[in-house]
Amino acid sequence: MSQTPDLRLKFGCTVLGSGSGGNASVIHGPDGNLLLDSGFSGVEIHRRLEQVHIDPASIRAILVTHGHGDHSKGCAIFSAKHDIPVYLTSESIVKMIEDKIKIPENKILFQPGFSFDLCGIHVEPFEVSHDTPAVGFTFSACEHKIGFATDLGFVSNLVKTRLCGCDLLVLESNYDTKMLRMSKRKLRTKQRIAGRHGHLSNADAMIALGELLAPNTKHLVLAHISRECNDYSLVSELAEARLAELNRQDIAFHLAQQDSPLNTFRLEN
């Protein structure tokens, strides 16, 4: 079914899916949309875009946080089909080559710490701690700010600084410590996930909210939730309790799903 893009949306975000099975989101800008990560197949990305009524032709560029397949495997196909550039780091390319992920022909390199503008959005990439070089992003437009930080072993001072003042915050809450310990994963894998170059635990994510939530924060999305080592209901309970503890019941929190998109967040004056 053909979809008509919502041209009235000047700035916002649609999380298409998040988890170890694939990650992708759309950042809606005044002059077009950006696809943040493309960790699904090209067919699946198109299916999810159709599901939330976003015209694929409205996507002007793809941004890749890092080279792991659950964030990058669909970028070359989507880029070629729609003749749009892929913004990524040289380190991401190296990792994609190592993992035999197709490299897009139309690519533009960026470096964390150096901002740029796309589709009327000010884009700021910043380093996060992961077992392959990775970045988080902030997106600013229309006097609002969106922050993304997933695939990070800990919340560094740099991350805290970059995510300061977000109206919408997307933060990883990957695993429950006990569930990870009791899982059937190899010990080396467990140690990697729980280390400072792995993923953010529920406990660490909840602690971080005390420093990351700003007075203007209205929406919180907890993302990259592990199916094997976490539970959506547990994350929901923890987030509700933490927001109450911080006296921030004014913030609407959401859990990014692996199998289905979230409703679009609109950030406009």
Question: Can you give the pLDDT at residue 100?
Answer: 98
Looking at residues 63-89, what average pLDDT do you find?
A: 98
Give the tens place of pLDDT for each residue, 104-142.
Answer: 999 999 999 999 999 999 999 999 999 999 999 999 999
Q: Quickly state the pLDDT bin for 94 (edges 50, 70, 90).
A: very high
Give the tens place of pLDDT for each residue, 177-186.
Answer: 999 999 999 9
Q: Quickly state the pLDDT bin for 9 (edges 50, 70, 90).
A: confident
- Domains annotated for the chain, with CATH where assigned, are 12-264 (3.60.15.10)
pTM (predicted TM-score): 0.95
* Percent of the chain whose pLDDT exceeds 70: 97
Question: Can you give the pLDDT at residue 8?
Answer: 63
The secondary structure of the chain, three-state, reads CCCCCCCCCCCEEEEEECCCCCCEEEEEECCEEEEECCCCCHHHHHHHHHHCCCCHHHEEEEECCCCCHHHHCCHHHHHHHHCCCEEECHHHHHHHHHCCCCCCCCEEECCCCCCEEECCEEEEEEEECCCCCEEEEEEEECCEEEEEECCCCCCCHHHHHHCCCCCEEEEECCECHHHHHHCCCCHHHHHHHHCCCCCCEHHHHHHHHHHHCCCCCCEEEEECCCCCCCCHHHHHHHHHHHHHHCCCCCCEEEECCCCCCCCCEECCC
Whole-number average pLDDT of the chain = 95
